[in-house]
Amino acid sequence: MNVKDNLFEVIKTNASQKELNWIETKATSSLQSLQTAFVATTRFVSKTSVNTFEKLKGINFNTWNLDKLVRSYFLVCLDVADEVSYTKTLNTLFETAENNEAVALISSLALLEHPENWLLRATDAVRSNIGIVFDAIAFENPYPQEFFSELAWNQLVLKCIFNDKSIHKIQGLDDRANKELAISVSNLAHERWAAGRTIPPQAWRLVTNFLDETIFEDIKKVFDSEDYKNQLAAALVCKNSGFLPAKNELKKHIELEQKVKDLSWSFLEV
């Protein structure tokens, strides 16, 4: 079964018969009708939560609403035979989209044909000041993990940290951790400390495999934090790092060492 058919199967188990009739009619209509249906979806389809265990290309639809799923379905119904026409149609939808339409487009990037062609749209979403648009590219979206450069990836993650957003919802967070990002996390922490502030404890997971003498000094400072979650973060870094001084440091904090024995970073997810 292809993506289009899989999406429709999920829709069938979540939509009313009246909604299905409208969706099926529009899905087999002209290009212009599909474009109009994409925009008009919320007039004919509810915003109820989708109930499914189905995943496609790394997307968990169980976190979506039905109207968003239907919009995504209309996108995969577009004729891909003519790449120029297909690209022009999608660019028109991107350029004219209101916020919720933009969210559906950004959330569907991994399902679109020629996904590499949409990189600029994805990085534009990272720069967006509209919260739901940024969240659509940052969280539970497989596209950045697969297609972003290291620079673009780091910008996405750092923007989440800077805005105190939950980085654990970024797909590929640990797989795409890198030295430059670890250094940036350290630099951001120093800026925050100078202003009497902190960074979210979860951010320290990004330095785990890149500890050196400089960043290790940060971890020792985090151990001394008055916030217990920060202390746990420092302990988790040391537990999971291959940096020998970190292993030795953890032994100095017996209670924390015992506490994190059976803990993972999920314990600090908020």
Q: What pLDDT sits at residue 237? A: 98
150-162 tens-digit pLDDT: 999 999 999 999 9
DSSP string, 221-250: HHHT-S-HHHHHHHHHHHHH---HHHHHHH
* pTM check: above 0.85: yes
Q: What pLDDT sits at residue 231? A: 97
Residue 66 has pLDDT above 90, yes or no: yes
158-205 tens-digit pLDDT: 999 999 999 999 999 999 999 999 999 999 999 999 999 999 999 999
Judge contact between 269 and 168, C-beta under 8 A. Answer: yes
Fill in the DSSP letter of residue 113. Answer: S
Phi, psi of 263 (to 5 degrees): -105, 150
Beta-carbon count within 10 A of 27 CB: 18
Please name the residue that has the structure tokens 């009619």: 25
Q: How buried is residue 66: exposed, middle or buried, by Cβ count under 10 Å (0-12/13-18/19+)?
A: buried
Q: What pLDDT sits at residue 131? A: 96
Q: How buried is residue 97: exposed, middle or buried, by Cβ count under 10 Å (0-12/13-18/19+)?
A: middle
- Tell me how far apart the alpha carbons of residues 266 and 101 are, in angstroms, rounded to a whole number: 32
* Nearest partner of 162 among 189, 137, 182, 136, judged by Cα: 189
- Mean pLDDT (the chain, rounded): 95
Judge contact between 107 and 72, C-beta under 8 A. Answer: yes
114-162 tens-digit pLDDT: 999 999 999 999 999 999 999 999 999 999 999 999 999 999 999 999 9
Q: What pLDDT sits at residue 31? A: 85
Fill in the DSSP letter of residue 49. Answer: B
Here the tokens at position 113 are: 């044909």
